[in-house]
Amino acid sequence: MTGVPGELAASLARFLERLGGMTRFAGRVLWLSPAALLRPRLVVEQVYNTGALSLVIIMTCGLFVGMVLGLQGHDLLQRFGSEESLGTGAALSLLKELGPVVTALLFAGRAGTALASELGLMRATDQLSAMEVMAVDPMRRVVVPRFLGGLISMPLLTAVFIAVALFGVQLIGVQFLGVDQGQFWSQMRGAVELDDVREGLVKGLVFGVACSLIAVFEGYNAQPTAEGVGRATTRTVVISAVVTLVLDYILTALML
């Protein structure tokens, strides 16, 4: 086959091949994950690398997202004369959508790229090969702890993001725009169900699995060149963002 149909077929075949490779990779990572918990030190190190080191960017962004939400929410609700519902609206939108999604996008940009480029460079400088020769499985020693680190960090980062963002909403809405503080909090407490919190947590967890897997997969399978590592990093961000938004729709449809 030649021409456009031939190229389409070839690129579809490449896509399917990559998808298959990723599925096998994911299966192996998940299969090896329980055993990796027996060496908590390696995982804790990665929770620090992916989680703690992302805190500043997550908190900064959370604060500003919350402040914008305060302004826009107040402007919107004012038109209906129900400014005191600001707390409820902000809390629900943050818990159910904004928190997990924005955290996942930031996570892909900060921690995902770091993971992908680190693994890609380890591949390019023969470190992974050296481990294999030393009879150490790089999947167990390097990939799985990083995956678990990301997986554990994501829901925690989501929670931090939401908490800081709520503070931002309150800062603008209550302190500057004069929404009644008692109304703000009590309406929020009355309207937010445990199910809403659970929805955010589940999303955070699922996005964490997806983004971490994509990052370690792209890094581990990077071409061992400078260009290859760069491409792996880019793909990590792009694919993570797309997958996060698609998954977000699916999860929302399932949980509503």
d(CA 137, CA 18): 22
Whole-Å CA distances, 1 to 9, 12, 166: 9, 14, 57
* Contact region with other proteins (CB under 8 A), list: 14-22, 30-38, 106-114, 118-126: 118-126
Which of 32, 24, 31, 37 is closest to 149 using CA atoms? 37
Q: Does 129 bind other proteins (CB under 8 A)?
A: yes
- Minimum CB distance to other proteins, residue 32 (Å): 12
d(CA 82, CA 74): 9
Q: Does 141 bind other proteins (CB under 8 A)?
A: yes
Give the angle subtended at the CA of 219 by the CAs of 218 and 223, to the nearest 5°: 90
Give the tokens for residue 14: 């490449």
- Minimum CB distance to other proteins, residue 16 (Å): 20
Q: Does 136 bind other proteins (CB under 8 A)?
A: yes
Q: Does 134 bind other proteins (CB under 8 A)?
A: yes
Query: How many residues at the interface with other proteins, by CB under 8 A?
Result: 15
Give the tokens for residue 242: 């797309």
Q: Does 137 bind other proteins (CB under 8 A)?
A: yes
Q: Does 253 bind other proteins (CB under 8 A)?
A: no
Q: Does 223 bind other proteins (CB under 8 A)?
A: no
**CB nearer other proteins, residue 122 or residue 165:** 122
**CB nearer other proteins, residue 41 or residue 79:** 41
How many other C-beta atoms can be found within 10 angstroms of the C-beta atom of residue 71? 14
**CB nearer other proteins, residue 121 or residue 163:** 121
**CB nearer other proteins, residue 17 or residue 137:** 137
What does DSSP assign to residue 225?
S
Q: Does 127 bind other proteins (CB under 8 A)?
A: yes
d(CA 77, CA 98): 19
The residue ranges that bind other proteins (CB under 8 A) are 121-122, 125-127, 129-137, 141
